[in-house]
Structure 1
């Protein structure tokens, strides 16, 4: 399963995707993902992205874990808790695998600041977990599932699954069937929460989905520019 089936046309997810369609395209077309697709992405940018992604996944997992405690049935709670565990497992895999591949020591990793965009995105998810109603939190979490699967499957189609692609392991992670099934489950859960919500709540859900999708673009862009804190030059070491 590379491409996901379309969500129900009358559901929240279909409306949220249509609302952010131009932004979704901009994410796929971003220079980082264009270079990732054709295999020309330089290793420095990819290594920076991997370090930031590993840190992001910790915050994402914490927000998922918080959502699991608020689910109103065991099946939904188990899915969200399992997704939280999976995010932490992936974080450790990235840390031990890709980071090792790039020859970064623990000291090197510690010396890479969490980028402003990474901190902003994780802070947004943590704040949503603390302050927003359950349906809004689900909508804020959904883009990380869905956008990554969309980008991964788009790149897989563009590359034809080439065995010699330098970033084939990353592409396959987000374009494989298991991840697609998780995205479908997250979409179904969010659609169900929206059906049970009133219109003002659905509008808050749409705002959360949109903002998280904006953070997705910012995250890719921060890796492309290897984003640093512009204030660092005024601070002593």
Structure 2
């Protein structure tokens, strides 16, 4: 079994919890509270900005052009493609995407970003890949779960979101990251692989926590409403 498949198997409990979360099931049913969607988009916009920065750190640590090309392609996907599912949420709640940009991060999103940046600065490429991989991987599987579980059609309010993440392009991007992680794991020491495992599992846990953060509209203690 490949290293990436081992990680997926070890974290099935968290994946299943993500699939069962009321935010995810709400997307499938077409019923997510407006304020939860707003909270999600505000946080995810800033999270994805940080995600691209982490890819940039990975580029700076890359020894060959293959890795540089891989991370550059991932940045392009986040920058130019992942605006579409955000726009689907915005259309459903009647709020422009631009209105939801530039807000401070809630605690969980702030922690998630700092977790990724820690591994980006302290670890090698394999460790960075392990920290980043749960985001695209869980989203792809969420898309597949919702597509198969709810069979949404074009009239479903979140059909563009579900279709986007269940698409073969997201599957392909995830598969490439898994393949590259496996290559680094093959030549990693046991201690390095353990750090990869820990980074991957914590990112899985934070993926779950991110959905919960949005659904409960998590805020910092004493935060003023709407401060930008």
Fold-level similarity (TM above 0.5): yes
Out of 21, 43, 49, which is 2:12 matched to?
21
State how far apart, in whole Å, the 2-side matches of 1:108 and 1:50 are: 10
> Aligned-pair distance for 1:21?
0.8
Give 1:90 shift. 4.0
What is the match of residue 179 of structure 2? 188
Q: In the TM superposition, what whole-angstrom CA distance separates every residue of 1:1-20 from its partner, at most 9, and x where no partner exists? A: xxxxxxxx2x2111111111
1:62 aligns with 2:53: yes
Taking the aligned partners of 2:5 and 2:85, their CA distance within structure 1 comes to 32
Which residue matches 1:173? 164
Aligned to 1:161: 152
C-alpha displacement of 1:107: 8.5
Provide the secondary structure at the position in 2 that maps to 1:219.
Answer: helix
Q: Which consecutive unaligned segments of at least 5 residues does structure 1 have? A: 1-8
Q: CA 1:134–1:60 in structure 2 vs 1: closer, same or farther (change >3 Å)?
A: same
Q: How does 1:26-65 map to 2 (within 5 A)?
A: 26-65=17-56
How do 1:3-152 residues align onto structure 2 when only pairs under 5 Å count?
Answer: 9=1, 11-90=2-81, 98-99=89-90, 102-104=93-95, 108-109=99-100, 112-152=103-143
Question: Judging changes above 3 Å, is the alpha-carbon distance between structure 1 residues 115 and 90 closer, same or farther for their aligned structure 2 residues?
Answer: farther
Question: For the Cα contact (< 8 Å) 2:41–2:100, is it kept in 1?
Answer: no
* 2:61 counterpart SS class: coil
In 1: Cα distance, 2:93 partner to 2:46 partner: 17
CA–CA separation in structure 1 for the residues paired with 2:140 and 2:122: 27
Deviations 1:3-56 (Å, cap 9, x if unpaired)? xxxxxx2x2111111111111100100111111111121222122212211111
TM-score by length of 1: 0.86
Which residue does the alignment assign to 2:219?
Answer: 228
Greater Cα shift, 42-51 or 139-148: 42-51
- Conserved in 2, the CA contact under 8 Å of 1:51 and 1:95? no
CA RMSD in angstroms comes to 2.3
The 2-side partners of 1:140 and 1:91 are apart by 19
